[in-house]
Amino acid sequence: MKFISFAGLAVAALTATALAQESKPVPKDSTRVSVPGCTKGMVFTAARRTEDQPSSVDIPEGMHLRMNGPKKVMSEIKAHEGTKIEITGLMKKGQYGPGGVTVGGIHIGPAPAGPASGLGSPAAGQNYIDVEGWRPLSGDCPR
């Protein structure tokens, strides 16, 4: 009797986990990405993707992403600061393309034109990701 009860609880827990991990539909102007890297505060820095980590989008190594997400997820990520993780979330299409060149670790790209370009704004040119989840990876982050 105890075995049946335990098995029932295990099945219920797995079902609840599967339902919680169901992904929301992706808006037409966005794409779902999974990116390995490291965090510092609310900023995620993309690491080099290994061959066993396929992706539909090529996020360049060193790209900084401002993370947005539920408080629970963000606090879990913050607790793992200093270790390599992979985040999964939604990004607007086109914001992850390099649009320039990287020289000595510094990205040089074309400046936006016009008065509404956001020049002088601290958020100008900032890449964002709406974090849906994360998972730990092996390895530490550079200090």
- Can you tell me the mean pLDDT for 41-51? 86
Q: What is the pTM of this model?
A: 0.64
Listed by start position, the domains of the chain span 25-111+120-140
Q: How high is the pLDDT of residue 93?
A: 84
- Interatomic CA distance for residues 15 and 20, integer angstroms: 9
pLDDT tens by residue, 61-108: 889 999 999 999 999 999 999 899 999 999 988 776 555 555 555 655
User: What burial class does residue 35 get, using C-beta atoms within 10 Å of its C-beta: 0-12 exposed, 13-18 middle, 19+ buried?
Assistant: buried
Query: What pLDDT sits at residue 139?
Result: 83
Reported as a single tens digit per residue, the pLDDT across 120-137 is 445 556 899 999 999 999
Please determine, looking at this structure, whether the domain spanning 25-111+120-140 carries the CATH number 1.10.10.
no
Rg (CA), the chain: 19
